[in-house]
C-alpha cells in the first residue's frame, strides 16, 4: 500500500493544466468534470427548490395569494423538470465521474473529451429551460409529464422545454455510454465484474437503462414538436392520432427513469452502510441480481401511471402484478442492508445517518408505491397529493438523501478536508424533521381527496397544507446549511486523515492518498 502511495505522489509534478476559467472549460479530467456536475446540479437544486418554495407559499392558505393559476402551473412544471433533469440526474453523473474511475482503478473515463462535452451541454439546456419563464406566454405549464393535447396548446415556452429536453437527453446518453465503456474496459487487473463495488454495479445497470430509454424520450418530444409546428397528428385524435399513445411512449421512458434516479442511490448506500458497520455487505451477489431484476422489471410496468386512462382489464391486471413484483427485489435490498448492519460495529457519522434515514424513509415510499400499484386503490389516489407524497419519499428522502450521504462520505477523499461533523448531524436531523413535516401529511391530503397541480383548495385541506408549507420552508432553508458546510469544508476544513473511515474497503480509500491526486491510477492497482 505504501508503495502505491509513493507512486501516486511521484506523479503529482505532471499535473499541468490551464488555470482559471480555462481549466474548467477545457478540462478532460474526470475529477474536474465530476466537480462541475456536482456544482451544476446543486445550483439547479436551488433553482428547483426556489420554485417549490413558491408553490408551497401559494398553497400556504386557501385562495389565490401570490401565484396566479397559470404561473402556478409553470412553477410546478419547471420544478419537476429542473429537479429530475437538472438536479438529481446530473448529481449522480457527477458521482459516477468522480467515483467510477477511482473505484475500479482506472486513470480517467474512457472518452475524456466527450465527457467534457456531455457536461457543457447541461448549462445550455438549463439556460433554455429557466429562460422560458421570460418569453411571451411564459414557461411550459403542462406538468413535467407534458401530456398533449395540453402541451400542444402552450406557447414558445413549450418549444424551449422540448429543445432543452433534447439537449439534456443527448448529454445523458453520452454520459452513460462513457460510463458503460469505462466500467467494461478499464477495470484494474483482477477486478472481475463480481468484485466491483456495488456503486459501480448500480451505475453500470443505470447506464444501460439510460441508453435504452433516453432515445425514447427524445423521440416522443420530437413527435410533440412536429405535432405543434409541422402539421403531424401523432397525438391529435382529429388527425387520426391518439393522446394516450403519448402517455405510453412517455412512461416507457418515464418509469425506467424513476429507477435511473434510485439505483445509483442504492449503490451509494451499499457503500456507506458496510463502511460504518465495519462489516462486508451482506448478500453481494443477491444485491447485483436484485438491481438487475429491478432494472428489467422497470421496463414492463410503465402503464401503472395510466390506470385511469382506461385500458383493458387484462392490461390493468398485468401492469398491477408486474409493478407489485418490483417490491420483491427492493425488499431483498432492504433486508440485505439490515443484515449488513446486524452485529456490525456501527458508528453514526453524517453519511451513515443519511444512509439509515434513506432506508427508513425509502421503505415508507416503497410501501406507498405498493399501495399505488393496487389498481382499485390507485383509482382513488392517482393524481392526488398521495402520489406527490409517494414520489417525494422515494426521490427526496430516497435519491437526495443518498446523494447527501455520498457527498459527506467522499468529500474527504475529494478535498483532503473534513466537513464539520456537528453541523453535518444538524443538517441530517433538520432535513429529517422538515422533510417528514412537509410530505407525511400529504398522504392524508391525497386520501381525503385533494388533487395535485391545483393552486387553490377546499377549506377541509387547509390545516395540513399549512403544516406542509411550513415544513417545506424549513427543508429549503436547511439545504443552505448543507451549502455552508460544503463551502467551509472545502475552504477551511480540518485536514482529513489518510483513512477517515476505518471501515472503508474500496480502492479509492485503500490505494490512493487523501486527497486523491489530480491524476490517479496511472498504473493500475492489482486487485486480488
Partner 1 sequence: MRSKSAATLAGVSALALYSSMAVGSKYNLPEPQSVIAQDIYDQHIVLMWICLVIFIGVFGVMFYSVLKHRKSLGYKAANFHHSTTVEIIWTVIPCLILVVMAWPATKTVIAMKDTSSPDITIKATGYQWMWGYDYLQGEGEGISFFSKLSTPRAQIENKAPKGENYLLEVDNHVVVPVGKKVRVILTANDVLHAWWVPALGVKQDAIPGFIRDTWFTADKPGIYRGQCAELCGKDHGYMPIVVEVMDADEYSKWVAAKSSAVKTSMHLENK
What is the footprint of partner 1 within residues 4-63 (CB under 8 A)? 62-63
Which of 368, 394, 364, 383 is CA-nearest to residue 446? 383
The full DSSP string for 108-137 is S-SSHHHHHHHHHHHHHHHHHHHHGGGSTT
Which residue in 259, 337, 393, 457 is the catalytic one? 259
Is residue 245 near partner 1 by the rule CB under 8 A?
no
H helix or E strand, kind and range, residue 249: helix 243-260
Q: What is the largest CA-CA distance in the chain?
A: 73
Q: How far apart are the first and last CA of the chain?
A: 13
Q: Does 371 bind partner 1 (CB under 8 A)?
A: yes
The interaxial angle of helices 313-325 and 327-341, nearest 10 deg, is 10
Distance between CA 150 and CA 160 in Å, rounded?
16
Judged by CB under 8 A, does residue 421 bind partner 1?
A: no
When binding is defined by CB under 8 A, the residue of 37, 42, 60, 282 that contacts partner 1 is: 282
| Residues 69-108, mask of contacts with partner 1 (x by CB under 8 A) | xx--x-----------------------------------
26 is catalytic: no
The single-letter DSSP state of residue 504 is -
With respect to partner 1, which residue has the nearer C-beta, 31 or 228? Answer: 228
Q: Binding to partner 1 by residue 500, rule CB under 8 A?
A: no
* Shortest Cβ 79–partner 1 spacing (Å): 14
Could you confirm whether 79 is annotated as catalytic?
yes
Residue 442: CB minimum distance to partner 1, A: 11
Among the listed ranges 80-88, 147-155, 479-487, 493-501, the one in contact with partner 1 (CB under 8 A) is: 147-155
Of 41, 152, 171, 277, which one is the catalytic site residue?
171
Candidate list 152, 172, 277, 399, residue with the active-site label: 172
Tell me if 320 contacts partner 1 by CB under 8 A.
yes
Nearest to 151 by CA among 247, 65, 45, 79: 247
Among 26, 50, 458, 498, binds partner 1 (CB under 8 A): 458
511 is catalytic: no
| Residue 488 interacting with partner 1 (CB under 8 A) | no
The x, y and z cell numbers of residue 243, run together, are: 393522446
CA–CA separation, 160 and 178 (whole Å): 27
Whose CA is closest to 88, among 122, 57, 61, 65?
122
Whether 144 is catalytic is yes
Say whether residue 481 binds partner 1 (CB under 8 A).
no
**Given candidates 237, 296, 487, 526, which one binds partner 1 under the rule CB under 8 A?**
237
- Please pick, among 31, 56, 166, 305, the residue that the annotation labels catalytic: 305
Alpha helices in 261-283 (DSSP H): 263-277
Q: Which residue of the set 31, 56, 304, 413 is catalytic?
A: 304
- Residues 200, 194: contact at Cβ < 8 Å? no
Say whether residue 338 binds partner 1 (CB under 8 A).
yes
* Collapsed DSSP state (helix, strand, coil) of residue 241: coil
Residue 108 annotated to the active site: yes
Q: For partner 1, give the closer residue by CB, 72 or 252.
A: 72
Of 111 and 354, CB closest to partner 1: 354
**CA dist., res. 174 & res. 207, Å (int):** 10
Concatenating the DSSP letter of every residue in 23-86 gives: HHHH---HHHHHHHHHHHHHHHHHHHHHHHHHHHHHTTSSS--SS-HHHHHHHHHHHHHIIIII
Beta bridge partners of 417: 495
**Least spacing, CB of residue 78 vs partner 1, in Å:** 14
Shortest gap between Cβ of 456 and partner 1 (angstroms)? 5
* Residue of 124, 156, 339, 467 interacting with partner 1 (CB under 8 A): 339
Q: Is there binding between residue 317 and partner 1 (CB under 8 A)? A: yes
**Radius of gyration, alpha carbons of the chain:** 23
Contact mark string toward partner 1, 376..415, x via CB under 8 A: xx-xx-xxx-------------------------------
**Does residue 345 interact with partner 1 by CB under 8 A?**
yes
Short-list 292, 477, 251, 266, CA closest to 358: 266
Catalytic residue among 270, 298, 323, 520: 270
Strands in 405-479 per DSSP E: none
Cα–Cα dist 41/46, whole Å:
9
Q: How many CB atoms lie within 10 A of CB 265?
A: 28
* Binder of partner 1 out of 13, 459, 492, 528 (CB under 8 A): 459
Measured from the CB of residue 373, what is the shortest distance to partner 1 in angstroms? 9
CB of 463 vs partner 1, minimal distance in Å: 10
Active-site residue set: 79, 108, 144, 171-172, 255, 257, 259, 270, 304-305, 330, 333, 452
Amino acid at each position: 500500500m505504501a508503495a502505491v502511495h509513493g507512486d501516486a505522489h511521484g506523479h503529482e509534478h505532471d499535473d499541468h493544466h490551464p488555470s482559471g476559467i480555462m481549466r474548467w472549460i477545457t478540462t478532460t479530467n474526470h475529477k474536474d468534470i465530476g466537480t462541475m456536475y456536482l456544482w451544476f446540479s446543486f445550483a439547479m437544486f436551488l433553482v428547483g427548490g426556489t420554485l417549490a418554495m413558491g408553490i408551497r407559499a401559494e398553497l400556504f392558505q386557501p385562495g389565490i395569494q401570490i401565484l396566479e393559476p397559470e404561473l402556478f402551473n409553470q412553477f410546478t412544471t419547471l420544478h419537476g423538470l429542473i429537479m429530475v433533469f437538472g438536479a438529481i440526474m446530473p448529481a449522480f453523473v457527477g458521482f459516477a465521474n468522480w467515483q467510477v474511475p477511482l473505484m475500479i482503478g482506472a486513470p480517467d473515463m474512457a472518452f475524456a473529451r466527450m465527457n467534457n462535452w456531455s457536461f457543457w451541454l447541461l448549462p445550455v439546456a438549463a439556460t433554455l429551460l429557466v429562460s422560458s419563464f421570460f418569453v411571451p406566454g411564459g414557461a411550459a405549464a403542462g406538468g413535467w409529464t407534458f401530456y398533449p393535447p395540453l402541451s400542444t396548446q402552450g406557447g414558445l415556452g413549450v418549444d424551449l422545454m422540448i429543445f432543452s429536453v433534447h439537449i439534456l437527453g443527448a448529454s445523458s446518453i453520452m454520459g452513460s455510454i462513457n460510463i458503460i465503456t469505462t466500467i467494461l474496459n478499464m477495470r484494474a487487473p483482477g477486478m472481475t465484474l463480481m468484485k466491483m463495488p456495488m456503486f459501480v454495479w448500480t451505475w453500470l445497470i443505470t447506464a444501460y437503462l439510460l441508453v435504452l430509454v433516453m432515445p425514447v424520450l427524445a423521440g416522443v418530444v420530437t413527435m410533440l414538436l412536429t405535432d405543434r409546428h409541422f402539421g403531424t397528428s401523432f397525438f391529435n385524435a382529429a388527425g387520426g392520432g391518439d393522446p394516450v399513445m403519448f402517455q405510453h411512449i412517455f412512461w416507457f421512458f418515464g418509469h425506467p427513469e424513476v429507477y435511473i434516479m434510485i439505483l445509483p442511490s442504492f449503490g451509494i448506500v451499499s457503500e456507506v452502510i458496510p463502511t460504518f458497520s465495519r462489516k462486508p455487505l451482506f448478500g453481494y451477489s443477491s444485491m447485483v441480481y436484485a438491481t438487475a431484476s429491478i432494472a428489467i422489471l422497470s421496463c414492463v410496468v410503465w402503464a401503472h401511471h395510466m390506470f385511469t386512462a382506461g385500458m383493458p382489464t387484462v392490461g390493468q391486471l398485468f401492469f398491477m402484478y408486474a409493478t407489485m413484483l418490483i417490491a420483491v427485489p427492493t425488499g431483498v435490498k432492504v433486508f440485505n442492508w439490515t443484515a449488513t448492519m446486524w452485529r456490525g460495529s456501527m458508528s453514526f457519522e453524517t453519511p451513515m445517518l443519511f444512509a439509515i434515514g434513506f432506508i427508513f424513509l425509502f421503505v415508507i415510499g416503497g410501501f406507498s408505491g405498493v399501495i399505488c400499484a393496487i389498481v382499485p386503490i390507485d383509482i382513488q389516489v392517482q393524481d392526488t397529493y398521495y402520489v406527490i407524497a409517494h414520489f417525494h419519499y422515494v426521490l427526496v428522502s430516497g435519491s437526495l438523501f443518498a446523494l447527501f450521504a455520498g457527498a459527506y462520505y467522499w468529500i474527504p477523499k475529494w478535498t483532503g478536508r473534513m466537513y464539520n461533523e456537528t453541523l453535518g448531524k444538524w443538517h441530517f436531523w433538520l432535513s429529517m424533521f422538515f422533510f417528514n413535516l412537509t410530505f407525511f401529511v400529504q398522504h392524508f391530503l391525497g386520501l381525503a381527496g385533494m388533487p395535485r397541480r391545483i393552486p387553490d383548495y377546499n377549506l377541509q385541506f387547509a390545516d395540513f397544507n399549512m403544516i406542509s408549507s411550513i415544513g417545506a420552508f424549513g427543508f429549503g432553508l436547511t439545504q443552505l446549511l448543507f451549502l455552508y458546510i460544503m463551502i467551509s469544508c472545502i475552504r477551511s476544513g480540518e485536514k482529513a486523515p489518510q483513512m477517515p473511515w476505518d471501515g472503508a474497503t474500496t480502492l479509492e480509500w485503500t490505494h490512493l492518498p487523501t486527497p486523491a491526486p489530480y491524476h490517479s491510477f496511472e498504473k493500475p492497482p492489482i486487485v486480488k
